[in-house]
Amino acid sequence: MSGSVRGGWMMLGLLVVSGLAMGCRVAAPPRRAAPAVEVPAGWSAGPGVSGPVVAGWWQTLGSTGLAQVVEEALKANWDLRAAAARLEAAVAQARIAGAALAPRAGFDFSANRQERNFIGLPIPGAGNRVLTSRSTSYGATFSVSWEVDLWGRIRAGRQAALAEVQASAAEVAGAKLSLAAQTARAWVAAVEAAQQVELARQVLTNLQHTTAQVRRRYDQGLASSQADLRLAMANEAAARAAVAERQNVHERTVRQLEILLGRYPHGLFEAPAELPALPEPVPAGLPAELLERRPDLVAAERRLAAADARLLQAKAALYPRITLTTTGGTSTRDLVDLLDLDYKVWSLAANVVQPIFEGGRLRAEAAQARARAEQAMAEYARSMLQAFGEVETCLAVAAPLEARERELAEEYRQAEVAWRQAEERYRSGLESYLTVLAAQRQMINSQSQRLAVRRAMWENRLNLHLALGGGFDVPRVEGESAGREGKTAR
């Protein structure tokens, strides 16, 4: 093999090795500095609450049934599967973005047979026959092309794609967190709806007894018993309508829960008889920890880092592009000589392209990328304030909800005593039916409101877990190759 051939193949090898080395050493952008948003040292609404946030928080709420439905939803929910598929698409896009960093290599095999006619060259003694020539050729070529990324344009695009993979991974974690909270809230709503149905049925039973009592007084011909009977019958009809309304709410709630669980909405889910008591207050950690723990904030920060990388990519597009190309192979008329280096062919080429005039497109793209980076920064700051506000609100309303539940419990106890006393006096003829009705209504309303407030207390606790980020560990993609990206992101 001659020195020129060896030099050509050596150049080809150096291009491959250097290209692979450059193309596989790109990591995601570092963490972006947070916007100038005030981050206090502790929560103003709950200064005494601290400690680590629990990852599987639904298992700490004192209900095995609740933990089971959340686990089922995390395994079977279709929205979560869609989010995982979007993550896979982002990982594939990162591979596509990084492919330009490595050399493009290809192998080409060609076979050609042709016939040529030589018009105007007569063959002696052949009359009008035309001189014909047939030939066959074979070729095998290996080519490598590589763009030298001197200005970091391709690397910036790769970094942007990796940051977007991280954002998608954070969004999958956020989808898990949201699904867990949504399923838990639906379970709480189903329990409260079942309790409201049971309460409405108890009220109907009581009113049926009251109507029978008033009817006996009417049959005895007591004064004003006719108006009392009509009023009792009207209240009984209203109680039947309330039962139907509460059943309607229960049916819708149960079916919504079944959809979240990935089940067919038969409406067969059986909720427990009552909600368990709320556990101890949730450790809320520190406000600064929210930036790294809450999935939507992690995603917003990664989107901001991706926008910064896109800006660098747009700026680098203003500079020249340098491409190196080399080919090597053989070309022969006989297939058996295709591997014989005596029939070698090779070439080396370099190409430099400098944009001069494109109607302002490249500078406009850079200005667009800069505006999008500023937009991402503003959206990150807004997300931070919203996240802090959600945690503060949940911490702030917890105590008033507990106080209201205690007062409603006391109201129910007093109203129940008043109702029983009014009924006793009514049977003795010492009280009007309106007094019995007023005491009964207050007792019913206080109990119904108490059930609703207990649900609100549970929902506020679930919202707090959601606002705190739930303790999910957001995957961090630091991949140096496309394969590692996929494994880490998943």
Structural domain of residue 270, as residue ranges? 31-118+151-315+377-489
Q: Which of 81-95, 123-137, 151-165, 193-207 is predicted most confidently?
A: 193-207
Phi then psi for residue 119, to 5 deg, are -70, 135
Task: Give 57's pLDDT tier (boundaries 50, 70, 90).
Answer: confident
Q: Which range is least confidently modeled, 19-23, 46-50, 132-136, 242-246?
A: 19-23
Whether the pLDDT of residue 134 is over 60: the answer is yes
Whether the pLDDT of residue 15 is over 70: the answer is no
Task: Give 50's pLDDT tier (boundaries 50, 70, 90).
Answer: low
- Please give the angle made by the CA atoms of 218, 224 and 229, to the nearest 5 degrees: 50
If one compares 196 and 169, the residue with the highest pLDDT of the two is: 196
What is the residue-averaged pLDDT of the chain?
79
Provide Rg for the chain, Cα atoms. Answer: 39
Give the alpha-carbon dihedral of 458, 460, 461, 467, to 10 degrees. Answer: 150
Whether the pLDDT of residue 347 is over 80: the answer is no
- Mean of the pLDDT values across residues 456-473? 83
pLDDT of residue 184: 92
Total count of domains within the chain: 1
Identify whether the C-beta of residue 490 lies closer than 8 Å to the C-beta of residue 413.
no
Task: Give 11's pLDDT tier (boundaries 50, 70, 90).
Answer: very low
Sign, Cα dihedral of 363, 364, 366, 371: positive
Identify whether the C-beta of residue 329 lies closer than 8 Å to the C-beta of residue 142.
yes
Q: pLDDT > 70: what percent of the chain?
A: 82
For residue 184, how many other CB atoms are within 10 A of its CB? 27
Q: Rounded CA gap, 159 and 416, in Å?
A: 68
228: in domain: yes
187: in domain: yes
Whether the pLDDT of residue 277 is over 90: the answer is no
124: in domain: no
Q: Which range is least confidently modeled, 231-245, 275-289, 368-382?
A: 275-289
239: in domain: yes
Give the alpha-carbon dihedral of 307, 312, 317, 323, to 10 degrees. Answer: -110
For residue 47, how many other CB atoms are within 10 A of its CB? 12
17: in domain: no
Question: Comparing C-alpha atoms, which of 147, 145, 148, 150 is closest to residue 348?
Answer: 145
pLDDT of residue 130: 64
94: in domain: yes
Task: Give 186's pLDDT tier (boundaries 50, 70, 90).
Answer: very high
pLDDT of residue 78: 85
If one compares 146 and 398, the residue with the highest pLDDT of the two is: 398
Q: Which range is least confidently modeled, 209-218, 391-400, 436-445?
A: 209-218
Task: Give 144's pLDDT tier (boundaries 50, 70, 90).
Answer: confident
Whether the pLDDT of residue 1 is over 50: the answer is no
Task: Give 47's pLDDT tier (boundaries 50, 70, 90).
Answer: low
pLDDT of residue 484: 35
If one compares 119 and 383, the residue with the highest pLDDT of the two is: 383
329: in domain: no
- Mean of the pLDDT values across residues 18-25? 46
CATH number of the CATH domain containing 222: 1.20.1600.10
339: in domain: no
Q: Give pTM, 2 decimals.
A: 0.73
- Reported as a single tens digit per residue, the pLDDT across 292-340 is 888 888 889 988 988 888 888 888 888 888 777 888 777 777 766 667 6
Task: Give 481's pLDDT tier (boundaries 50, 70, 90).
Answer: very low
- Mean of the pLDDT values across residues 415-425? 89
pLDDT of residue 19: 44
Phi then psi for residue 139, to 5 deg, are -145, 145
